[in-house]
Structure 1
Amino acid sequence: MTAVTVAAEWQLLYNRYYRKPEIYSMKWKHIDLSRNKVACAPFGGPIAIIRDDSKIVQLYAESALRKLRIFNSAGVQIAETVWRNPGGRLIGMSWIDDQTLVCIVQDGTIYRYNLNAELVEPNISLGRDCFEHSVVECLFWGNGVVCINENFQLFCVSDFKNLTPNGGVIKLADPILEELPLCMTVIEPQYTMSGNVEVLLAVGKHVLLVEEDGVQQVGVGVGPLQKMVVSRNGKLLASFTHDGRLLVISTDFSQIIFEYSCESALPPEQLAWCGMDSVLLYWDDVLLMVGPYGDPVRYFYDEQIIIISECDGVRILSNTTMEFLQRVPDSTVSIYKIGSTTAAALLYDALDHFDRCSAKADENLRMIHSSLPEAIEACIDAAGYEFDVSRQRTLLRAASYGQAFCSNVPRDRFQEMCKTLRVLNAVRSPDIGIPLSIQQYKVLTAPVLISRLINANHHLLALRLSEYLGLNQELVVMHWSCSKINASLSIPDSALLDILLDKLKLCKSISYAAVAEHSNKIGRRKLAAMLVEHEPRSSKQVPLLLSIGEEDVALTKATESGDTDLVYMVLFHIWQKRTSLELFGMIQAKPLARDLFIAYARCYKHEFLKHFFLSTGQLQEVAFLLWKESWEFSKNPMASKGTPVHGPRIKAIEKARDLFAETKEHNFESKAADEHAKLLRMQQELEVSTKQAIFVDSSISDTIRTCIVLGNHRAAIKVKTEFKVSEKRWYWLKVFALATTRDWDALDKFSKEKRPPIGYKPFVEACIDADEKSEALKYIPRLADPRERAEAYARIGMAKEAADAASQAKDSELLGRLKLSFSQNAAASSIFDTFRDKLGVS
């Protein structure tokens, strides 16, 4: 295609060229935009159409039921649904950033639809004020909307993504109006100093700026204004006055940038920015493009059009076509402008001569040799802005031709553009219907584009593009799997599982559990169980198994993983859902689960653990628990009250005794428990009779000693007899108990009852410990062993008697030791030396 042919399609606005190529011939039929409310999403997004109930229209062969229909940008229908929403007239609808369609009706109810025309729950209300005083107008931006009701109150939803049934709706300051404003527009939060939305209301000859916290009057004298629209960067305001003037003003109303007098004072149906260089005004037959300088450009239409603002121009939708009006890029102008002699134009011309085998090609290359890198870059850049594939190919061929004669051009730039154009051409196909420009693609980003393809159920293309661009394919495969399950209700679970696994295996890290969870949500529990078997991560597998009621499998998987947290999670879930016997049966054959259950229950659930041990025949374990509980009773004084026979501690110990007796291996424990119960009973009886709480939980020896100290010798003998205390032990206990009470007469009498089986040494020690030397002298002579007598005499300070006893034992070593104990007493030391000399020891 020659440069003259290309440039002939352009229109000149002062010194800037604009073009308006046709992107699509619309695929729909019998669509009249003038009869419908229309919402078009930016970035080549979908189109929503519903019959306008505010207009009286003739119904042809269509149903009287209103239908909400959703098309792609090429007019291919994606979905439709019957409009059944109550609440009065539809006031406005728009697509938000995630391509959810937001519809606001008269009573302030907000309905949301996805790309498949399915209602997204829950519905939202703007509140009581809007219900009682109907919404009359709404203005959308990005993810938000501002509404005004019949009471002239303003309400704002700043972010639909974070909207909740009871929150997210903000009432702005009351502008105190007596009638509806002539027009309104918003400055988006990202462009305001406060970070909140600002609403501009045209009232009389001025403008009111309304925020959440207040209202201020701006632009005094600029009105009355019939239409207003803020530029994409939030800095400029385009407005149409009552006397037919177009004013472009800074949004702070500090200066008028430019002014243009239109031929008609009738306000335009639509007012929009085309980039940042021009403003579009549309009446029912003409589209007027006005720039700051030069004469305007007029485009004539014989049918209704919709202007869709984009970041780099506008799309123009009519009944039959979709066009894209944009400023011609500088690189394209440098190549195709008539009479252009730039290096890029000469390189493009050189390719044409090369194709025709003309020597002029070489002449052109020689002329631009020093500027060849810039020419190549311009051709690559211009190719990116083209929608026509043949022009893209020609421009890229020109760049490739130039690269053959230039060594210092980055090769990756050419490759990146080829990759980008392949992606753009794929999504621009009428079947896909996303006519993105390269600038829109850069702003949108590839991951978001993939997400939009997924939501539109173009999974195959999304998968191929993800692979081509090196993006994660998992999201695509996951969404496809869930969509396939939704659409395959008639396919048997086993057959559908094979289909899903064939695609899911494309991604190594895919979450089978997430797909299984979706399957479970729509009621296909068997399919979910089969899918979750393929999930390698137990942390994701086990919770889903529990949610679908597969507790047995979940417990097996958790124990196999060795993750104690997972095992406990399953145990607690089963504990709540199943009976005790079912739980016991499930964990009995799984050692890890059983041990963890026992460890937990041993600390917090004794009764439950006893039931478990009883059900599994582990009677001795129950007995040990009872015995442990008996000690717990002792920590609570109130729990230990009662008669000796019926005290809760004794009952627990007796139960333990009986259970121990069931097995031969625990005879010792059984006897010990029996004696413990007897002892406790006797100790409680003693506490009752003595009215002193000093017996319970003391040992047998301590009990006997305490009885003797208290003078209750009969009780002491009874304890001795009951527990078969040996004579030696009895003597030891009684001797020291009598010494404790300093009953020396009783001690002396006790020593004479019969020859003590423990000898007289304990008597001596008891007296010495009580610091009663005179009493000790009663028993020292009775000591049979002279060595014991010597040491006893030494302990009470009788050196001569000690030395005499040691000499009788003929133990010189003992004499040496005793001498050391009297080292402070010279006379005593000499006595020991005398006896040692008699023994002939030096």
Structure 2
Amino acid sequence: MAAVTVAAEWQLLYNRYYRKPEIYLMQWKHVDLTRNKVACAPFGGPIAVIRDDAKIVQLYAESALRKLRIFNSAGVQISETVWKNPGGRLIGMSWTDDQILVCITQDGTVYRYNIHAEPIEPNSQLTLGADCFTHSVVECVFWGNGVVCINEAFQVYCIPDFNNPKPVKLADTGLEDFPLCMAVIEPQYTMSGNVEVLMGVADHVLLVEEDGVQEVGLGIGPLQKMVVSRNGKLLASFTHDGRLLVMSTDFSSVIFEYPCESALPPEQLAWCGMDSVLLYWDDMLLMVGPYGDPVRYFYDEPVLLIPECDGVRILSNMSMEFLHRVPDSTVSIFQIGSTLPAALLYDALDHFDRRSAKADENLRLIRSSLPEAVEACIDAAGHEFDVSQQRTLLRAASYGQAFCSHFQRDRIQEMSKTLRVLNAVRHPDIGIPLSIQQYKSLTPAVLIARLINAHRHLLALQISEYLSMNQEVVVMHWASTKITASAAIPDATLLEMLLDKLKICKGISYAAVAAHADKNGRRKLAAMLVEHEPRSSKQVPLLLSIGEEDTALMKSTESGDTDLVYLVLFHIWQKRPALDFFGTIQARPLARDLFVNYARHYKHEFLKDFFLSTGQLQDVAFLLWKESWELSKNPMASKGSPLHGPRVKLIEKVQHLFVETKENFFESKAAEEHAKLLRIQHEIEVNTKQAIFMDSSISDTIRTCIVLGNHRGANRVKTEFKVSEKRWYWLKVFALATIRDWDALEKFSKEKRPPIGYRPFVEACVDANEKGEALKYIPKLTDPRERAEAYARIGMAKEAADAATQAKDNELLGRLKQTFSQNAAASSIFDTLRDRLSFPSVS
């Protein structure tokens, strides 16, 4: 009996059943669709209503001021605002995919509102352009996130995406009269990726794009109405002689045509899913399919068709209905006379409830098909709007599952979850009448986003928790909304309210909520909120943005994150005077050290100021000394007077600073001698006209002076820097050998007994390959070992052997033998001497 009652409401279109359940009785009052412009959002979205200024209507008890009112799909008012927009007559109004209400006026101005009737700025800057201001907009065709408009000059403009609203002028149509009808193929369904506009003109259709215009469908017109299917592949049209034509959007083939009873074009033309087309006249709704007789529905009040992905919602002054194809699973259960497994399972539950043995008989009949029957009952439950029917179908599925060992056990649980969510949002107070197919297409995440945008935070939170989704999005939006709407609540009270809810989500960004508070002018609240943010990387930048630099520096140094510390340092550095900045970082060792490290490489002057302000004179001195060496790389630094040259001045400043510290005696003395050496080197360069002395050592300066014959300069450096006699002799010996002045070397050796002995003289001569000169000094070597090695170096084996014999050193003889290994006669001499030393004579 129940099956008969359910199926009695269906209509058969060829071999497919359709049903039109009433979803809501509209809760609004005194709303007449004929007197208003109405825009309904898909996916059970909101309804925008405003009095139609193109019609002369009688005002009853209402104000003469036009109001834009927004309702949910059950007719519960969400918001309203007075329509103050001065752009002339309202031409078009529609909802975008993001549930933004777009209103286009006669002068081409585009106004946008959110679901709370709050204008989205900047409205004043968004227009279709000067052409539409000069030549009024006549008609608009909306889709998803875009719109196409035609003005009185037959120019076509398009905004492809309201998220990035830039008007685009399409190709010149060349029209002299307005098209009979317009439709659009959305960019996602075109080859070019741009919108294509179809215009019914005379006996053909103009296809208008940004790049050009072409005539298509020659001979099929004139067309009075056109509408493109949701997948962009089919076009339904109504001809001048009363035929419904369905063809492909490339006009290559006609799918079917149906002669209607009237040549008067319908007020509305819409697709019902992909299986049928709806035509609406003022009292009749005609549903036409590709085969069989059409279905007629009669109305005694105006209706508005709202296409959905799986059907059409029908809005009237009094009710909201949903016309859609009956799912196959529902047909298999409730079709009159059905003996399919699903119908028998449903019937078995009824017998079971009445304690009839017929229940067992039904189960035996369908035992092999029980999984399919259970699945059909679950699927049918998902497509039901009636809660009691959902429950009965799920009970039937559960009853069948008890006798089915190979069925996926969580399917009933999944469907129960889905239906609980759908029933919650379908409640008239919420008014989102989603079907299960729409819900899957929309996705739970988008549904939750729409709920929070409608300020239904509690329901959104409950659904998020129920579906094990991230609740942070809901809580964050609630917190932001609460801050915006609670200007009168004291900061401390509001903080407690926020913290109570924010703690629901672990890891939630308190910094983001604090940033919103700061944006709304509640800096104290922001500072209190950011204290609860555990992540320094989010906490510190916000503290800087709200002017809490000292706290930010403390938090960043406590975190140990050097990047964060540098972020704070650079921020404070730019905002505060230098002395304040120095005082701030001096108390924090990590911040101070990082600043010093950075400034040492890039900001020397600033670092000097810092060291001076903190009394670190030795550090200033070292910086200046480093600068002096940097100056040495500049060839201009050595020119001019050494007493007033930049490098010498710097080094003198270094010396004075070291003297002041009283703890850097060595550095002070080194700086003093460095400056003195630079002066002397500069004078020598001037005298010798050889720019090769600056920055060389004392030893190199002496050596170079001797090589150049500037003995006066060498002696001056020796005297000024108290060079020791030994060092002086070493330097002069090798310098004279370098210039091969052997007479001067011999003379120098005879001035007095050399403090370094004669070995350096020998080495200098040998290194210069002057054996004869070396022989002048070898006999003067007092150590026989040194004499032996010296003779060996110049190849005199016998003399080397004699000296080694005097030394009585067996090891030395062995080494010398190795030296003369190529000379057999010399080797035998050393062997004889070694034998003699090994066996001393017996007295």
What is the TM-score when the length of structure 1 is the normalising length? 0.93
- Equivalent of residue 205 in structure 2, options 187, 197, 207: 207
One-letter code aligned to 1:110: V
Which residue identity lines up with residue 108 of structure 1 in the other structure? G
Instruction: Provide the rounded CA distance (Å) in 2 between the counterparts of 1:18 and 1:189.
Output: 31
Displacement of 1:723 after TM fit? Answer: 0.7
In structure 2, do the counterparts of structure 1 residues 329 and 705 end up closer, same or farther at CA, with 3 Å as the change threshold?
closer
Contact 2:7 2:336 in 1 (8 A): yes
**Matched residue of 1:121: which SS?**
coil
Aligned to 1:460: 458
**Aligned ranges 1:398-409 → 2 under 5 Å:** 398-409=396-407
Q: Which amino acid aligns with 1:85?
A: N
Mapping for residues 627-666 of structure 1, pairs under 5 Å:
627-666=625-664
CA shift at 1:437, angstroms? 1.2
User: Partner residue of 2:98?
Assistant: 98
Determine the C-alpha separation between the residues in 2 that align with 1:657 and 1:219.
97
What is residue 334 of structure 2 aligned with on the other side?
336
Give the drift of 1:340.
4.1
Check whether the contact 1:454–1:462 (CA below 8 A) recurs between aligned residues. yes
Q: Which runs of 5+ in 1 are unaligned?
A: none
Partner of 1:183: 181
Q: CA deviation at 1:275?
A: 2.0
Does the CA contact (< 8 Å) of 1:312 and 1:326 recur in 2?
Answer: yes
1:75 maps to what in 2? 75
Q: What residue is the counterpart of 1:135 in the other structure?
A: 137
Q: Identify if the C-alpha distance between structure 1 residues 256 and 834 changes in structure 2 by more than 3 Å, giving closer, same or farther.
A: closer
Letter in 2 for 1:50: I
- Quick check: 1:23–1:387 contact (8 Å CA) kept in 2? yes
Q: Secondary structure at the match of 1:651?
A: helix
Partner residue of 1:256?
Answer: 254
Secondary structure of 1:184's aligned partner: strand
Please report how far the alpha carbon of residue 830 of structure 1 lies from its aligned counterpart in structure 2 after TM superposition. 6.7
Shift of 1:241: 1.4
Q: Shift in Å at residue 790 of structure 1?
A: 4.1
| Deviation of 1:374 (Å) | 4.0
Pick from 654, 677, 683 the counterpart of residue 679 of structure 1. Answer: 677
After superposition, give the CA deviation of every residue in 1:347-378 in whole Å (9 maximum; x if it has no partner). Answer: 44444444455555555555555554444433
- Give the counterpart letter for 2:696 in structure 1: S
List per-residue Cα deviations over 1:633-673 (Å, max 9, x = no partner). 11111234331111211122222212222233311111111
Instruction: Report the residue type matching 2:159 in the other structure.
Output: V
| Deviations 1:131-157 (CA, angstroms, capped at 9, x unpaired) | 443322111112222222223232333
Are the counterparts in 2 of residues 71 and 77 from structure 1 also a CA contact under 8 Å?
A: yes
1:804–1:835: 8 Å Cα contact kept in structure 2? no
Q: Which string of whole-angstrom CA distances, capped at 9 and with x for unpartnered residues, describes residues 411-464 of structure 1?
A: 322222222211111101111000111221121122211111111111111111
- Work out the CA distance in 1 between the residues paired with 2:292 and 2:824: 135
C-alpha distance after superposition, 1:292-311 (max 9, x if no partner): 34443333333332110011
> Which amino acid is 2:321 matched to?
E
Q: Deviations along 1:725-756, whole A, 9 cap, x unmatched?
A: 11221222222223333333433333333333
Match of 2:282 in 1: 284
Change in Cα spacing, 1:771 to 1:457, as seen in structure 2 (3 Å) is same
Unaligned runs of 5+ in 2: none
Cα deviation, 1:149-176, whole Å, max 9, x if unaligned, reads 2232323333333x15xx4x43333332
Of 281-290 and 815-824, the range deviating more from structure 2: 815-824
Q: Paired residue for 1:39?
A: 39
Superposition map of 1:334-733 within 5 A: 334-357=332-355, 361=359, 364-365=362-363, 368=366, 371-733=369-731
Alpha carbons 2:313, 2:320 under 8 Å: kept: yes
1:120 partner SS:
coil
Query: Do 1:227 and 1:241's aligned partners in 2 also have CA atoms closer than 8 Å?
Result: yes
- Give 1:46 shift: 0.5
**1:327 equivalent in structure 2:** 325
Indicate if the aligned counterparts of 2:638 and 2:682 stay in contact, CA closer than 8 A: no
Counterpart of 1:5 in structure 2 is 5
Indicate conservation of the 8 Å contact 1:93/1:103, yes or no. yes
Cα drift, residue 802 of structure 1: 4.4
Tell me if structure 2 keeps the 8 A contact 1:812–1:841: no
Equivalence for 2:169: 171
Distance change in 2, residues 1:471/1:809 (3 Å)? closer
Distance in 1 of aligned mates of 2:82 and 2:527: 36
Q: Distance in 2 between matches of 1:395 and 1:819?
A: 115
CA offsets 1:548-600 (integer angstroms, 9 cap, x no match): 22222222222222222222222222222222223322322333222222222
Structure 2 match to 1:55: 55
* Higher mean C-alpha deviation, range 662-671 or range 584-593: 584-593
Equivalent position of 2:148 in the other structure: 146
Over the residues paired in the alignment, what is the CA RMSD in angstroms?
2.7
Instruction: Provide the C-alpha distance between the structure 2 equivalents of 1:383 and 1:177, rounded to a whole number of angstroms.
Output: 53
Q: What SS does the aligned partner of 1:581 have? A: helix
Distance in 1, matches of 2:263 and 2:637, equals 97
CA–CA distance in 1 between the matches of 2:663 and 2:395?
95
CA contact (8 A) 1:23 1:324 kept: yes
Alignment-mate amino acid for residue 151 of structure 2: N
Find the counterpart in structure 2 of residue 768 from structure 1: 766
What are the superposed Cα offsets for residues 384-408 of structure 1, whole Å, 9 maximum, x if unpaired?
A: 2222222223333333344455555
SS in 2 for 1:155: strand
One-letter code of the match for 1:708?
A: I
Q: 1:36 to 1:724 in 2, by over 3 A?
A: same
Quick check: 1:49–1:70 contact (8 Å CA) kept in 2? yes
Once the two structures are superposed, residues 476-498 of structure 1 have per-residue CA deviations (whole angstroms, 9 ceiling, x without a partner) of 11111111111111111121111
CA distance in 1, matches of 2:187, 2:4: 45
What SS class does the counterpart of residue 664 from structure 2 fall into? helix
Q: CA deviation at 1:501?
A: 1.3
> What are the residue-to-residue correspondences of 1:791-810 with 2, within 5 Å?
791-809=789-807
More divergent stretch after superposition (640-649 vs 285-294):
285-294
Q: Which moved more, 1:259-268 or 1:772-781?
A: 772-781
For the Cα contact (< 8 Å) 1:272–1:281, is it kept in 2?
A: yes
AA partner of residue 398 (structure 1): A
1:198 corresponds to which of 196, 207, 215: 196
Letter of the 1:424 counterpart: L
- Contact 1:87/1:109 (<8 A) preserved: yes
Tell me the percent identity. Answer: 82
Residues 224-253 of structure 1, C-alpha deviations (whole Å, 9 max, x = no match) = 111011122323221111122222223232
Contact 2:702 2:718 (8 Å CA) reproduced: yes
Q: Return the alpha-carbon distance in structure 1 between the equivalents of residues 436 and 353 of structure 2.
A: 28
Range with greater deviation from structure 2 (807-816 or 448-457): 807-816
**1:766–1:256 Cα change, 3 Å:** closer
2:39 partner letter: A
Judged with a 3 Å threshold, the aligned counterparts in structure 2 of structure 1 residues 744 and 68 are, in CA distance, closer, same or farther, namely same
Give 3-state SS (helix, strand or coil) of 2:257's partner. strand
Work out the number of aligned pairs and report it.
838
One-letter amino acid of the counterpart of residue 40, structure 1: C
1:762, CA displacement in angstroms? 2.7
**d(CA) in 1 for partners of 2:837, 2:349:** 137
SS of the residue corresponding to residue 54 of structure 2 reads coil
- Identify if the C-alpha distance between structure 1 residues 355 and 682 changes in structure 2 by more than 3 Å, giving closer, same or farther: same
CA 1:272–1:756: 2 relative to 1, 3 Å: same
Distance 2:464 2:144 in 1: 26
Helix, strand or coil at the partner of 1:199: strand
The alpha-carbon distance between structure 1 residues 290 and 807, as it changes in their structure 2 partners (threshold 3 A), is closer
Instruction: Report the CA distance between 1:680 and its aligned residue.
Output: 0.9
